[in-house]
Structure 1
């Protein structure tokens, strides 16, 4: 139970890791979007600043060039013409000395109004600027306005900061300032935002400051809190979080399913060895020269109530869980009994059994001579062993000699695909080589492996072995192998692996 709990914890941790990774990715893209929004707002505000400065120049410079000395109808007409095409200017005033004499909205005043001191003066253009949070225009005395008053020469402009408050600005906290050498001067937006951004600590990515490249000293500061950003994009955030959660849960389920599947295979194989879920099939081995049946190879299959497992699924598990000898004992006990019951099989019929190389190294194969079903059998028992580094030891050599002395034949299986060591052919007591099916399949395409078959046959003749070719499917393959001197053949051309009952019917129908 503790083992399964650990595996479940792995699945949960995987899901949590995927969820956290997804959240980090989501946070990264949110940060990029936040930066994009702040940059867009800053750019938008500075664009308005540059446009307002350009409009101020296009209005005040021409008016001052007229050189009006008093306010009359001509003066008011030019002032109103200038106001007509303006985007930011809501009123224009005319001064004589330091007194306001008339405006486009109120016309000629009954008495002059003294001008107030500016917040700052742009000395390069002799422009006086003053911010008024609540100004009552003479024409609209009941409605206060937040404005910037700009005076140059005999004229001033009243520019409403409301023009900056476009719906395209996503940030609620922003400010436009004019920086001179001594201090900051507020022009529009939320007063103090620039100073707070410069001095206070904010979360990463939620502030931005930029200055105009066209009008020096005009700067914009924007603060868009994460909370506001998520509030503005809450629907998208919810969808993203749901998808991230689903990714985490899906990952946990997949890992858990994978672990459960692997655990299930282990359990199924262990139980299968005890309850008989393994069954054995027999594939004919034919003499290529005479066409007669001379033996068969025993091949394992598995099926239980959960379905079929293929050899490439259960063989690695058997090796990993050290069940190789248990598996071999089960194979021998069943196959010898089934084949013995087939009366038509002659004396000297060769039965090829696959043996795990690790059982050679561990000495388990020395138990084979003690199995009476084998030693008393009317068959020739051929032990097929795949090339492996386990074979290249003095212990393995001694065990092979013992098996040969006990009457077993030895076959080197899948020659050329495993731990190929030609020295083994001379040192080990083998009787037979088995050419792997990949060499045979290469014959039709005249591939590199097919060209090696004559070389393999030279070794076979040199060491006085017999040779079996696996995977023969066509008459063309059979003819080429027969010409090359291969003794025996095995493959679908002669018969697929079949159960004992079907193998008996096969022998009867083929009249061997």
Structure 2
């Protein structure tokens, strides 16, 4: 029961910390976007204003729409553009003063808001207005499956009032004023944004219902004492280590192999390159990339993995006489290896620098990249003849500063943007803005995840240069890739 209590307490602490982190991140994003937009001092919604609003939305994680006001009248939004008829702003739930700009921030909770772009879909949002702009913040960011507490609430409390923002209304008052068993509830407030708090509750009954195995362990501890518990803990730790062990051994014993997906010129329909994609299989079965990639990062095996990949990929593709010189081979590089400086060692690997191919290093977006640290490494790699590409653009940490300061040649549009095209979703509406950046920085552009002729036609019309996806071919083993190239009369 002691261990069960500790686990319950840790779970509530994790949930509350997770929610407060989202509160702080959303507040920081709100402050950054509204300060930058208001500093533009626009007094009307014109094409330049809309472009700046959409640029701000493109980088946002929590904000799903931005509006522009004139005299309390909403005149345009990023999703709907300039409105045919203005909309009067509703009064806020509360007003607080921004400590940095000393200007009022109006906040309103809306349990059912219908965006102008999605009039049939009700959304639970928080609306924040400051100056001439307002932001629509989606509360779904808090409703993550990571949260295990059965009830939780995010609130803002002023001197004499409390306002609901997300979660189940009334939870905060219940946790604050009611008596619960030990470890069942928690209240945590943000230190960065005073007034914002979360309350979470996970009853013992529900905890044991969700953790029946833990209840069994508790009964065994009571009846059989320490021997049985020791065996169970040892078994649990062995199971947890097994995947890590498979990955470590796999790097030594060749369990990793690579498949190749062609990259197509949308204008000519010809194959111009390929991306090398990692796969894993050992005697215990298959591990998928979303299983082994996080382990490679966590176990600090990223550079070892990259070395194995380079050795195998270049050696395999060099045997294909059908491939000409200047054929582009894209390989993925971990941002953490840029931060540590390992990436600088690539220019000293003869198999890369002496290759007849163009080597394109794709920097994944799912880790933060310090542009100051990366600049010198990237410059040296470009001088050594490498191409640099931003992978899965629009889903992670890329921003205008990185695009401007780092020596990239290529930008890859993430498949989620392409899949959004046929439904005319919000992400698809960002593609013209992405292509504007591509032209501004003189990049080439590759779209991932193309599956239909309709998607291809829209991307060609937008000016995208290259495509990759199941419309052309799935990732293939070396022999199948060679057969594919011959069939394409490459």
What TM-score results when the alignment is normalised by the length of structure 1?
0.51
Deviation at 1:256, TM superposition (A): 6.3
**Does the 8 Å CA contact 2:336/2:367 hold for their aligned counterparts?**
no
- What is the CA distance between 1:16 and its match in structure 2? 11
The structure 2 residue matched to 1:470, chosen from 448, 458, 462, is: 448
Contact 2:339 2:370 in 1 (8 A): no
Provide closer, same or farther for how the CA distance between residues 264 and 402 of structure 1 changes in structure 2, counting only shifts above 3 A. Answer: same
Q: 1:457 to 1:257 in 2, by over 3 A?
A: farther
Mapping of 1:172-187 within 5 angstroms? none
Determine the structure 2 residue equivalent to 1:484.
462
CA 1:374–1:244 in 2, change beyond 3 Å: closer, same or farther? closer
Counterpart in 2 of 1:381?
Answer: 359
Contact 2:371 2:402 in 1 (8 A): no
Partner of 2:409: 431
Asked if 1:263 is matched to 2:228, the reply is no
Question: Which one of the candidate residues 350, 354, 357 is aligned to 2:332?
Answer: 354
Provide the secondary structure at the position in 2 that maps to 1:315: helix
Q: Deviations for 1:33-84, whole angstroms, at most 9, x for unmatched residues? A: xxxxxxxxxxxxxxxxxxxxxxxxxxxxxxxxxxxxxxxxxxxxxxxxxxxx
Are residue 290 (structure 1) and residue 268 (structure 2) matched? Answer: yes
In structure 2, C-alpha distance between the alignment counterparts of 1:471 and 1:254, rounded to whole Å: 44
More helix by share: 1
How far does residue 392 in structure 1 lie from its aligned partner after superposition?
Answer: 2.6
How far is 1:262 from its partner? Answer: 2.6
- Structure 2 distance, partners of 1:367, 1:422, is 27
- CA deviation after TM superposition for structure 1 residue 370, in Å: 1.0
Tell me which residue corresponds to 2:295.
317
| Pair 1:395 & 2:359 matched | no
Whether 1:506 aligns to 2:484 is yes
The correspondence for 1:276, drawn from 245, 251, 254, is: 254
- Runs (4 or more) in structure 1 with deviation over 4 Å come to 12-18, 243-258
Q: Are residues 311 and 248 of structure 1, via their aligned partners in 2, closer, same or farther at CA, if it must alter by over 3 Å?
A: farther
Among 337, 342, 366, the residue aligned to 2:344: 366
The one of 357, 382, 393 equivalent to 1:415 is: 393
1:340 to 318, 322, 334: 318
Gaps of 5+ in 1: 1-11, 19-242
Distance 1:386 1:244, change over 3 A: closer
Mapped partners of 2:215, 2:433: distance in 1: 60
Q: Give the Cα separation in 2 of the matches to 1:268 and 1:245.
A: 29
Do the aligned residues in 1 keep the contact of 2:328 with 2:360 (CA within 8 Å)? yes
Q: CA deviation at 1:259?
A: 3.6
Partner Cα distance (2:343, 2:299) in 1: 18
How far apart, CA to CA, are the structure 2 residues paired with 1:330 and 1:376? Answer: 18
SS at match of 2:427: helix
Distance 1:258 1:246 in 2: 12
Q: Deviations over 1:137-156 (max 9, x none)?
A: xxxxxxxxxxxxxxxxxxxx
Cα separation, partners in 2 of 1:469 and 1:14, compared to 1, 3 Å = same
Deviation for aligned residue 1:244:
6.5
TM-score, structure 2 as length reference: 0.54
Q: How many residue pairs were aligned?
A: 277
Aligned to 2:437: 459
After superposition, give the CA deviation of every residue in 1:344-380 in whole Å (9 maximum; x if it has no partner): 0111100001000000111101111111111111100
| Cα distance in structure 1, aligned partners of 2:344 and 2:282 | 32
Larger radius of gyration: 1
User: Structure 1's 448 and 326: CA in aligned 2 closer, same or farther, altered over 3 A?
Assistant: same
Determine helix, strand or coil for the equivalent of 2:454. Answer: helix
* SS of equivalent residue, structure 1 residue 289: coil
**Alpha carbons 1:387, 1:415 under 8 Å: kept:** yes
What CA distance in whole angstroms lies between the structure 1 residues aligned with 2:232 and 2:428?
A: 43
The verdict on how the C-alpha distance between 1:446 and 1:16 changes in structure 2, with shifts beyond 3 A counting, is closer
SS at match of 1:300: strand
1:248–1:380 Cα change, 3 Å: farther
Distance, in Å, in 2 between the alignment partners of 1:13 and 1:309 is 36
Tell me, yes or no, if the aligned pair for 1:281 and 1:300 is still in contact at 8 Å.
yes
Report how far residue 420 of structure 1 moved.
2.7
CA, structure 1 residues 388+303, in 2 after alignment: closer, same or farther (shift >3 Å)? closer
Q: Corresponding residue for 1:303?
A: 281
